[in-house]
């Protein structure tokens, strides 16, 4: 059994412990935005988690976790679930999200593009697959789940500038920004070692939770949760936007990295103010 330990860094709570046990203790409706990337069950090399359950075990476990997330999510909250399959298990994300229909409505399905070729130029980064059967996997899923399917979004705040600036006046837009749609090109920063990704096999770039939070709408009183915190990227995004966040993580080493990242950022913010 993992012993639960709580600590505070700035506005944020870091909880080392089992997600299922910790989530049962959080108050009903106490969280406004959930952003997380759980283990994908595709054999990634986590330090202390075996990422290779049977499909039924994995889906049942995730269904239980998401039922707890439904209880603690505010009725007007957003749950952004980042998940991917593999070439040999392409159905897994869809099998999961179908099971979640008993708890949530799928309000938006976003394709997170990590690498794309435009004409003959490749933008972004991907992990190549050595295969005669499968294509390189350059994208993942972000399922935007809500309780009623009616959460109003800040589409422009999370948007992108117009390429054709004549659209601004011609279409009477208030600013040089439009909804970015349901395909997000959010590349990783270039890293050349495991240390560059904090020795974690499943990190996402800070731009991903930042964009999710901007899309939901940023208010000072928002509480953000990542039940599979990893190295703390969601909490880093929350700090950058002046929000409070809760991160849950079972691995002591990853909690330590998250703590160090947050302390460094909180110290910089305090000096700037």
pLDDT, tens only, 102-159 = 999 999 999 999 999 999 999 998 888 899 999 999 999 999 999 999 999 999 999 9
Question: pLDDT (tens digit, 9 = 90+) per residue, 3-62?
Answer: 899 999 999 999 999 999 999 999 999 999 999 999 877 655 445 556 577 889 999 999
Residue in 117, 62, 63, 76 with CA at minimum distance from that of residue 223: 76
Residue in 196, 194, 235 with CA at minimum distance from that of residue 36: 235
Angle at 199 between CA 236 and CA 84, to 5 degrees: 75
- Would you state the pLDDT for residue 193? 52
- Boundaries of every domain in the chain: 5-272
CA 66 – CA 68 distance, rounded (Å): 5
CATH numeric code, 5-272: 3.40.50.150
Tokens standing for residue 266: 């909180």
- Would you state the pLDDT for residue 77? 98
User: What 3 state SS string does 153-192 have?
Assistant: CCCCCCCECCCCCHHHHHCCCCCCCECCCCEEECCCCCCC
- Would you state the pLDDT for residue 210? 98
- Would you state the pLDDT for residue 250? 92
Tokens standing for residue 250: 């079972």
CA 76 – CA 33 distance, rounded (Å): 9
CA 51 – CA 57 distance, rounded (Å): 11
Question: pLDDT (tens digit, 9 = 90+) per residue, 193-251?
Answer: 555 555 544 589 999 999 999 999 999 999 999 999 999 999 999 999 999 999 999 99
Name the more confident of 89 and 264: 264
Question: pLDDT (tens digit, 9 = 90+) per residue, 148-159?
Answer: 999 999 999 999
């Amino acid at each position: 059994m993992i012993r639960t330990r709580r600590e505070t860094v700035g506005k944020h709570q870091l909880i080392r412990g089992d997600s299922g046990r910790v989530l049962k203790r959080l108050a009903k409706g106490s969280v406004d935005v959930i952003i997380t990337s759980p283990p994908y069950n595709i054999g990634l090399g986590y330090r202390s988690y075996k990422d290779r359950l049977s499909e039924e075990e994995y889906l049942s476990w995730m269904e239980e976790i998401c039922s707890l997330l439904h209880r603690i999510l505010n009725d007007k909250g957003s749950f952004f679930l980042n998940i991917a399959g593999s070439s040999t298990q392409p159905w897994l994300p869809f099998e999961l999200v179908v099971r979640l229909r008993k708890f949530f409505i799928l309000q938006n399905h976003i394709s997170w593009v990590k690498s794309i070729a435009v004409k003959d130029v490749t933008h972004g980064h991907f992990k190549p697959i050595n295969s005669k059967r499968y294509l390189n996997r350059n994208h993942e899923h972000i399922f935007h789940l809500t309780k009623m399917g009616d959460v109003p979004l800040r589409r422009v705040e999370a948007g992108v500038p117009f390429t054709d600036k004549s659209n601004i006046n011609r279409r009477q837009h208030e600013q040089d920004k439009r909804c970015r749609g349901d395909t997000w090109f959010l590349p990783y920063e270039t890293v050349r070692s495991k240390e560059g990704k904090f020795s974690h096999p499943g990190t996402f770039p800070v731009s991903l939770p930042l964009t999710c939070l901007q899309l939901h709408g940023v208010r000072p009183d928002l509480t953000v949760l990542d039940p599979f915190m990893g190295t703390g990227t969601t909490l880093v995004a929350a700090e950058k936007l002046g929000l409070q966040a809760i991160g849950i993580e079972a691995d002591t080493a990853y909690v330590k990295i998250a703590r160090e990242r947050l302390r460094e950022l909180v110290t910089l913010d305090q000096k700037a103010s």
